Chains A and B, each alone.
Chain A
Amino acid sequence: MSPESSVNFSQASSWAAQWQHLFYFLMGIFVFFSVLIFGLIFFFAIKYRRRSKDEIPPQIEGNLALEIIWTVIPAGLCVVMFVWASGLFFRNSRPPAASNEIFVIGQQWMWKVQHPEGIQEIDELHVPVGVPIKLTMTSQDVIHDFGIPAFRIKKDVLPGQYTSEWFTATKTGRFHLFCDQYCGTGHSAMIGWVIVMTTTDYARWLSGGVASRSMSDVGAELYVRYGCDTCHSRGKGPPFAGLYGSFVKLTTGQTVIVDDAYIRNYILTPSSQRVVGYAPVMPTFQGQLEEEQILQLTAYIKSLAKTESQGREAAKQ
């Protein structure tokens, strides 16, 4: 596919339209005050230019009323901007419950994308139009940032933890995706394309790919290959059925929900969050599992929550 010759910067997500309104408001403020200040400077500089060498102009100490006016008006505008921008951000900070989840792993200098159905792609992200998509992201090495200008979003992708961002694409087409956080030598090569398709095209694309197994199927295989089953299927460790989304009590006294971040931390540093009632025999898998494999294991654990009747409140995705 050839690179586009013009910038595809159309407002291609539901968020982009709301973003654009606020942006135009700020542009209005920018233009008004820039013109005001530049205009006054030019006007005063010409009108009050020095006309004789010894000229002494009238001295003006200041003016309290003016000071109050030009403090209160900018302050009021700042409040409007703050409330508008923060409200917009806050309302959109959590993805809708019905989002499709797709996983993104950043690594010097490429993007690996993993769909739950099993398809993996590199530097490309295929999504259906009109469906909320939640990206759960992590990095294998340094900090990256997954930004899509046409959607007006970006979020840092951190090593050692999950971050997420979400969008609902409103137009089909190809849109740039950029790494926005400087990540080393190949930073500017860490770019790719988001391909927004109609839902039917997307379904065809999902099924037409290389024959692949879903993330949870791969996870089930890893479960056996790494010997997780020797404890978790035999009562030495907690069984996975219904585990995802439930609450567990830790030996520290805390009660935490079993979610993606918890599972990841537990696999890598089990000693930090032992569960009450089980012997501390879980070894760390730090350095043995790739980030993708952790995501696949998580998908497997998540799939068990869905199939079992105990996992009622599970699978919030």
Chain B
Amino acid sequence: MSTALAEIEALPPVHYLNVSYGWRSWLFTTDHKRIAWLYLAAITFFFFVGGMAATLMRLNLIEPQGALVEPSTYNKLFTLHGLIMIFFFLAPSIPAVLGNFLIPLMIGARDVAFPRLNLLSWYIFMLGGFVFLYCTLSGGVDTGWTFYTPLSTTYANSNVMSAAMGVFISGFSSILTGLNFIVTIHKMRAPGLTWFRLPLFLWSIYATSVIFILAMPVIAMTMVLLMLERFLHVGIFDPALGGDPILFQHLFWFFGHPEVYVLVLPAMGVVSELIATFSRKRVFGYGFVAFSSVAIAFLSFLVWGHHMFVSGQSIYAGLIFSAFSFMVAIPSAIKVFNWTATLYKGSISYDTPMLYALGFIGLFTMGGLTGLFLASIAIDVHVHDTYFLVAHFHFIMVGGAVMGYLGGIHYWWPKMTGRMYPEGWARLAALLVFTGFILTFGPQFILGYLGMPRRYAVYPPEFQVLNVMSSAGASILAIGYVIPLIYLIWSARYGPIAGPNPWGAKGLEWTTASPPPTENFEVIPIVTEEAYAYGKR
């Protein structure tokens, strides 16, 4: 069942999971590995809440007149889905779970630079999450996750204040996490671990952390301005109060587009690791893959205006934002080509993490190529704000970021728990996720091309067939997500013992025990070789 290379043995007698017991040992821990588990528990909860909202939406759209709920409820569902998935699942997913767990292990350190700040970040995240849950339970919010003004500030009758407050608070968690990671990667690398020996995952996480620090303060400020206008009627965005509604969109997307790359860059890092391990090769063109992450982080701050091509912004501004949007496609293309070239003459195994990685490359390629349609300002005039856009960003966010996250969770699961997951079930789930995904979002491209607008609770009957296909796909996707939840929990207790390096992978995290001791390494390792040195034995 398992392809583990290591012979079956016992777990190490003392490791970070059994070193202490009781809720205090978890809620007051400063061990980066335990904090990763705190995040994992929280975001898994949020993922299934957001997923429930998506399920209800897809059920509702089976009928043109709405099969399930009133439009007002439907509007709250897609707002809930968007806000939860963006701010309370995807943003912390790979950085806060895998990043927290792996950064010190990958650089040969005993913890992150600021362990207590790390724990504080989790508490801030949870506070933001609880405020948002309060918002939801007390009636919800119906502005869309984008909070466009003056709808959100003057006209919406739902709980905008608490939703904005939840987003405002959770942003600080990301800022502190980013700060922590940057300092850790700069200052705590083991002797000999130079920048160009770093695993590519760390280059991605570094680029992500930079975006956290630069973009999150902007959304915090924007939310404050929004709350000021809504609560105190200070005229900022509403023209009736002397404001400018487009100003909000500038501020929001100056944060929002870098944020999109925050979600997918870490997944790109994970995929680089998976491709290397499961083809037993150094990543082709290491330097190009590393610097493309940095280039994406930089360019991501220059493309926000492509969200406003049809907002009436100046033609010339539109053209410049279009040009930058095309530019950001190039480092993404470089990554895809280098990953594909890594497979050439490799020794490729079909373990579950690799299935997710290969799925990522294919779906991200399609997501990226459809992004070119939206960057083409003339084409955008028709497909803007339609299901074409919805399908495009779900290819990036779900086909990309979620696939990368699931691949990473499976890959490092033996390191986190010391035990293997059941490979057969895992492959089945990966297959269901892939087919369910294609069936859910493929038809949405056609719906958007035909003009169906996004965020429609009811729709003209001629769009029904494609909507039913999409909903059918979503049900397969949902099963594909529930299966891993069950077998991963099962395997944490009953899975076969993994041993320190079940995949035969390179990287410092595989040189220590599984699960690792609290201090990660008995002796701080000294690095003498580049990353992915599979040629050397």
Residues of A that sit less than 8 Å from B by CB:
3-7, 9, 18-19, 22-23, 26, 29-30, 33-34, 37-38, 40-41, 44-45, 48-51, 53, 55-63, 66-67, 70-71, 74-75, 78-79, 81-82, 84-86, 88-90, 92-93, 108, 141-143, 145, 147, 149-150, 152-156, 158-161, 163, 176, 178-189, 191, 286
Question: By the criterion CB–CB under 8 Å, are A29 and B372 in contact?
Answer: yes
Question: By the criterion CB–CB under 8 Å, are A61 and B282 in contact?
Answer: yes
Question: By the criterion CB–CB under 8 Å, are B330 and A180 in contact?
Answer: no
Q: Which of A29, A90, A92, A152 contacts B382 (CB 8 A)?
A: A152
Tell me which residues across on chain B come within 8 A of A158, comparing CB atoms: 239, 245-246, 311-312
Tell me which residues across on chain A come within 8 A of B370, comparing CB atoms: 30
CA A53 to CA B279, docked complex, whole Å: 12
Q: Contacts A3-B460, A86-B378, A176-B451 hold; do A185 and B72 have CB atoms under 8 A apart?
A: yes
CB contacts under 8 Å to A, within B334-358, are: 334, 336-338, 340-341, 343-350, 358
Question: By the criterion CB–CB under 8 Å, are A50 and B71 in contact?
Answer: no
Tell me which residues across on chain B come within 8 A of A29, comparing CB atoms: 369, 372
Q: Which of B240, B286, B348, B534 contacts A44 (CB 8 A)?
A: B348
Question: By the criterion CB–CB under 8 Å, are A149 and B451 in contact?
Answer: yes
Tell me which residues across on chain B come within 8 A of A150, comparing CB atoms: 451
CA A28 to CA B5, docked complex, whole Å: 44
Binds A, one of B259-267, B318-326, B519-527: B318-326
For residue B48, CB closer than 8 A to chain A, the reply is no
For residue B13, CB closer than 8 A to chain A, the reply is no
Question: By the criterion CB–CB under 8 Å, are B315 and A44 in contact?
Answer: no
CA A9 to CA B463, docked complex, whole Å: 12
Q: Contacts A60-B345, A88-B378 hold; do A187 and B350 have CB atoms under 8 A apart?
A: no
Cβ of B456 to closest chain A Cβ, rounded Å: 4
Tell me which residues across on chain B come within 8 A of A62, comparing CB atoms: 284-288, 338
Question: By the criterion CB–CB under 8 Å, are B462 and A4 in contact?
Answer: yes
CA A277 to CA B52, docked complex, whole Å: 65
The prevalent SS among residues of A at the interface is mixed
CA A163 to CA B503, docked complex, whole Å: 59
Q: Contacts A7-B462, A142-B151 hold; do A37 and B343 have CB atoms under 8 A apart?
A: no
Q: In the A-B complex, list the 7 residue pairs whose CB atoms are closest, starting with the nearest.
A: A160-B239, A149-B451, A85-B376, A188-B456, A44-B343, A62-B285, A59-B535
Q: Contacts A19-B378, A37-B336 hold; do A142 and B150 have CB atoms under 8 A apart?
A: yes
Tell me which residues across on chain A come within 8 A of B456, comparing CB atoms: 187-188
> What are some 13 contacts across the A-B interface (CB < 8 A)?
A18-B378, A19-B382, A37-B365, A48-B279, A49-B350, A56-B280, A89-B381, A142-B148, A150-B451, A155-B310, A158-B246, A163-B312, A184-B75
For residue B450, CB closer than 8 A to chain A, the reply is yes
CB contacts under 8 Å to A, within B443-483, are: 450-451, 453-463
Report the number of A-B residue pairs with Cβ-Cβ less than 8 Å: 275
For residue B23, CB closer than 8 A to chain A, the reply is no
Tell me which residues across on chain A come within 8 A of B337, comparing CB atoms: 66, 70
For residue B385, CB closer than 8 A to chain A, the reply is yes
CA A56 to CA B532, docked complex, whole Å: 12
CA A154 to CA B383, docked complex, whole Å: 9
Tell me which residues across on chain B come within 8 A of A163, comparing CB atoms: 312
Tell me which residues across on chain A come within 8 A of B330, comparing CB atoms: 71, 74-75, 78
Tell me which residues across on chain A come within 8 A of B286, comparing CB atoms: 61-62
Tell me which residues across on chain A come within 8 A of B127, comparing CB atoms: none
CA A165 to CA B288, docked complex, whole Å: 43
Cβ of A269 to closest chain B Cβ, rounded Å: 8
Question: By the criterion CB–CB under 8 Å, are A186 and B285 in contact?
Answer: no
Tell me which residues across on chain B come within 8 A of A56, comparing CB atoms: 280, 347, 534-535, 537
Cβ of A189 to closest chain B Cβ, rounded Å: 7
Question: By the criterion CB–CB under 8 Å, are B362 and A38 in contact?
Answer: yes
For residue B377, CB closer than 8 A to chain A, the reply is yes
Residue of B nearest to A37 (CB): B365
Question: By the criterion CB–CB under 8 Å, are B451 and A184 in contact?
Answer: no
Question: By the criterion CB–CB under 8 Å, are B365 and A34 in contact?
Answer: yes
Question: By the criterion CB–CB under 8 Å, are B462 and A6 in contact?
Answer: yes
Question: By the criterion CB–CB under 8 Å, are B346 and A22 in contact?
Answer: no
Q: Contacts A19-B379, A23-B379, A85-B322 hold; do A44 and B535 have CB atoms under 8 A apart?
A: no
Q: Contacts A49-B350, A74-B333, A156-B311 hold; do A179 and B281 have CB atoms under 8 A apart?
A: no
Cβ of A186 to closest chain B Cβ, rounded Å: 7
CB contacts under 8 Å to A, within B178-223, are: none
Cβ of B1 to closest chain A Cβ, rounded Å: 15
Tell me which residues across on chain B come within 8 A of A143, comparing CB atoms: 148, 150-151, 245, 311
For residue B366, CB closer than 8 A to chain A, the reply is yes
Question: By the criterion CB–CB under 8 Å, are B451 and A147 in contact?
Answer: yes
Tell me which residues across on chain B come within 8 A of A181, comparing CB atoms: 148, 385
Tell me which residues across on chain B come within 8 A of A191, comparing CB atoms: 460
Question: By the criterion CB–CB under 8 Å, are B385 and A81 in contact?
Answer: no
1/0 per residue B419-463: CB within 8 Å of A? 000000000000000000000000000000011011111111111
Cβ of A27 to closest chain B Cβ, rounded Å: 9
Question: By the criterion CB–CB under 8 Å, are A78 and B386 in contact?
Answer: no
Q: Contacts A78-B329, A90-B319 hold; do A57 and B365 have CB atoms under 8 A apart?
A: no
For residue B155, CB closer than 8 A to chain A, the reply is yes
Question: By the criterion CB–CB under 8 Å, are B72 and A149 in contact?
Answer: no
For residue B531, CB closer than 8 A to chain A, the reply is no
Question: By the criterion CB–CB under 8 Å, are B350 and A57 in contact?
Answer: no
Tell me which residues across on chain B come within 8 A of A178, comparing CB atoms: 451, 453
